[in-house]
Copies of this chain bind each other. A is one copy, B any other.
Amino acid sequence: MKIAILGGTGDIGEGLALRLAADTTHRIRIGSRDAERAETKAEEYRTELDSRGIDATVAGFENEAAAAEARVVVLAVPPYHIGDTVEAISDVLDSGDVLVSPAAGMKRDEEGFHYHRPGAGSVTRLAADAAPEGVTVVGAFHNLAAARLANLDADLGIDTLVVGDDEDAKRTVIDVAEGIEGLRALDTGGIANAPEIEALVPLLINLTEHNERLHDLGVRFQ
């Protein structure tokens, strides 16, 4: 399957691209607003994968071109760019395509990071509201530490939580996620249940800041 990762030049995009390329047979399309930057990063990822003897398809494009041929499009962009990003690719999305929202809104103050719930209810809902007719949105990949994902020597052994109102789309994303070795994807119901998942992101940062021995934290439900 072709998977586009928009914002695929950023930290979490890099981690997802490398893991999906290393562990699955999906073809990865790195998207950026700047095509040249996407190509440069895709080349970097290929070099990293090559050095491990992994032959994977990773290519860079401007966001719209990255999304055009993909069946699954990951919106690895900051929450305040979700609306713009979905709008920019709306014309090239086909009915049945699945958008994946991994972003969480946060605010920082002197005490720590706090979940900043968007007016729409969640970032996942924001993406769903922006999506064109026939394109479904699934929330996933929120609570993954980018550096740990990007380090292919690091074991995962962690969970990602998946929400969506369309069962088929959610199944597709769960299958993609579980293609990554050591990642378990857990169905957490509909998009209405996204806020508590997105709130894990500031929680993980606060935990890391208060516990020196914890780095690149993930979470396992057991």
Mark A residues whose CB is within 8 Å of B.
109, 111-115, 157-158, 161, 186-190, 192-193, 195-197, 199-200, 202-204, 206-207, 209-211, 214, 217-222
Contacts and interface: CB of A to CB of B under 8 A. Distances in A.
Nearest to A216: B222
Contacts of A220: 219-222
A207 B222 contact: no
**How many copies of this protein are present in the complex?**
2
Residues of A contacting B: mostly: mixed
Contacts of A193: 111-114, 203, 206
Contacts of A209: 189
Given A222-B158, A222-B218, A222-B220, A115 B206 contact: no
A221 B221 contact: no
